[in-house]
Amino acid sequence: MNFECDKKEYEVLERLVEKDVNLNFVYCLALTLLGLKPGLTPPNNFNSNDFEEYRDVLESIGLSSEKIKIGFMDVSEIPCSVEERTLNFFVIAKKTDRFDMLKEDYKNKFVYYRDLGLFLGYPEEDVEWYVEESRNGNQNHYQISKEALGHPEDFNKVVSLALYVPKPTKKRYRVADKKSERYKNNLRRADEVFDTDIAKLLIQNQLD
């Protein structure tokens, strides 16, 4: 595939790694920059001030950000990445029309789960399964899928690299596995193309 960024933009990620920025965040940024993933969210340990600090960096590499309000949340449930009191949550994308998939204010968490999952590029069938399990009061999607699939040896690797839990069918698991391999292989190829050295570290961090 042809990557959707240039060497100068991708080298910014190498500098972020050197600054000890959350590696899962850099992993998702890399996939988005390369055109493998359409959107991402900041890590939960980012507060609004942390995010504002990186807004200019994101813009410098062609990424845009928006805020959505998740009004269904109880204040006690708010992760650090949501602005206090306002319940605003940051989302990031390379193409600004991606934000049209999201509402400005969410009152229903199941609608939010579905919209955000699709915004992040997760397959619709897997997103619908995730939402349905959530509606039924099941929150440990990882364990449910793993057990239903018979505890595949590489399940953690697949989920960690693909960034989502697949619906527990052999077909959906194969799709997630192929996606995880595609991500891994293209990160390694990006290092060769852009003369960087971050793929091994980003991949290993996902697997730890």
Q: What is the pLDDT of residues 58-110, one digit of tens each?
A: 999 999 999 888 877 665 555 555 555 456 788 999 999 999 999 988 989 99
Q: Are 186 and 162 within 8 A, CB to CB?
A: no
What's residue 43's pLDDT?
A: 78
Long-range contacts of the stretch 7-10 (C-beta < 8 A, 24+): 7/193, 7/194, 7/195, 9/33, 9/60, 9/61, 9/62, 10/34, 10/61, 10/190, 10/194, 10/196
pTM of the model: 0.91
Q: Which residue has the tokens 């994101």?
A: 58
Q: What is the pLDDT of residues 173-193, one digit of tens each?
A: 999 999 999 999 999 999 999
Q: Is the pLDDT of residue 51 over 80?
A: no
